[in-house]
Amino acid sequence: MTIDPRLRELRRVAIVPALNEVENIGRVIDELRAFDPGLEIVVVDDGSLDGTARAAAAKGARVLRLPFNLGIGGAVQTGFRFAFENDFDIAVRVDGDGQHDPAQLDRVLAPVLSGEADIVVGSRFAAMGANGYRSSRTRRIGIRLLAGVVSRIVGQRVTDTTSGFQALNREGIALFARDYPHDYPEVEATVMVFRHRLRLVEVPVEMRERGGGRSSITALRSIYYMVKVLLAIFVGLFRRNVVPQEGSE
Amino acid sequence: MTPLAVSIAGAIASFMLVLVVLELIRSRRLRERYALLWLVTGIALTVLSAWREGLNTIAGWLGVRSYPPAVLFAVGLLFILAVLLHYSTVISRLSDQNVLLAQRLALLEEQSTTSL
């Protein structure tokens, strides 16, 4: 595959959060390499018990092994901190379960490379009707509802606030390295991005069914997360000092 | 019937609790995850204090005839127990994680001193 020539001059990293993805992680790494051999791959192992870290290291990826499960927010932020401290120019985030197809990364990267966006989100719903994303009913309704609430708050139409298929430039990396929400972070992060006046652009992507293994999100959990996330968003709107200072927690 | 003063004082106090919790979240001193139970407590107590008919009806169901506000105490106590139990589980998890961190640190330190 030929990659965008502008990408070649940049230091670029793929952040791959993974929890018990021993069956999928190898393939994800292979596909990332196939897309761009110059991409540094960092797998953040969020306390897996199934040898995910070893499988990733065997494929030659850098592995950040968390000593216990931090949840997706804490895991992903570890990757952003790595990217920030090691002076990467561009980061892409690709989930370790194989849902995101690295072959579509050129689409996700384009607005960052052209300087149109600080953060690009691959959306399952940006192109309506395309390839109908399949998921549990509760989850689909939740995703729609959150997208509606967030669109209204930020004043720009966003269709998929729960997608972890993203690309970020240095500004985006710096923001998320300093401050990133917990648990079900993408929704709050979207609002945060706008409050910091960074530019967010959505591009349509198709996501695959996950490979082997099970998703870590159940229906009951989705409802709990919904309540929690809505609370966080609304309370967050009244925050003046948006970013916590280092060491204040 | 509940004395009016009790309803008013109860509603104000519980509503204050809700406001304090929201302010703590806003100033990032309380994470949403730990705030939810407190919010539910505050809202439940506010509703029960302000909604006098409801409190009477519930007291009737529970066989509390002489002094309906006793139901407020019962509900408050129940929620406090729930919050405390929740905290016990949180502390247990934190101390497990603390052990893990100390062990990981010791292993790392050993690696870095032997490689010098």
**What ipTM goes with this model?**
0.73
User: Is pLDDT at A78 greater than 60 in this prediction?
Assistant: yes
Show which of residues 26-65 on chain B sit within 8 Å of chain A, judged by CB atoms.
26, 28, 31-33, 35-36, 39
pLDDT confidence of residue A214: 59
Q: pLDDT, tens digit, for every residue of B50-109? A: 999 999 999 999 998 888 889 999 999 999 999 999 999 999 999 999 999 999 999 999
Interface test with B, best of A235, A238, A239, A249 (most B CBs within 10 A): A235
pLDDT of residue A126: 78
What span, in angstroms and rounded, lies between the C-alpha atoms of B34 and B81?
A: 14
**Residues of chain A contacting B26 with CB distance shorter than 8 Å:** 235-236, 238-239
Contact B25 A235 (CB under 8 A): yes
In this predicted model, which residue has the larger pLDDT, A101 or A3? A101
Q: What is the pLDDT of residue A247?
A: 46
Question: For all residues of chain B together, what is the average pLDDT?
Answer: 91
Token pair of A225, please? Answer: 């997360």
Chain A residues with CB under 8 Å of B33 CB are: 182-183, 228
* Sheet strand arrangement including A40-45: A62-65, A40-45, A12-18, A90-93, A166-168, A119-123, A200-204
Q: What is the DSSP string of A91-108?
A: EEE--TTS-S-GGGHHHH
* Residue A18 reports pLDDT greater than 50: yes
**pTM, two decimal places:** 0.84
Name which of B31, B35, B101 is nearest A182 (Cβ-Cβ): B31
The length of chain A in residues reads 249
Q: What are the CA-CA distances from residue A90 to residues A13, A85, A107 (Å)? A: 6, 13, 14
pLDDT of residue A244: 53
Residues of B in contact with A227 (CB under 8 A): 36
- The amino acid occupying position A88 is F
Question: What was the pLDDT predicted at A130?
Answer: 45
Residue with the larger pLDDT of the pair A115 and A239: A115
Higher-scoring residue by pLDDT: A68, A208: A68
Mean pLDDT of chain A: 87
Indicate the pLDDT class of residue B33, thresholds 50, 70 and 90: confident
CA dist A169 and A119 (Å) reads 7
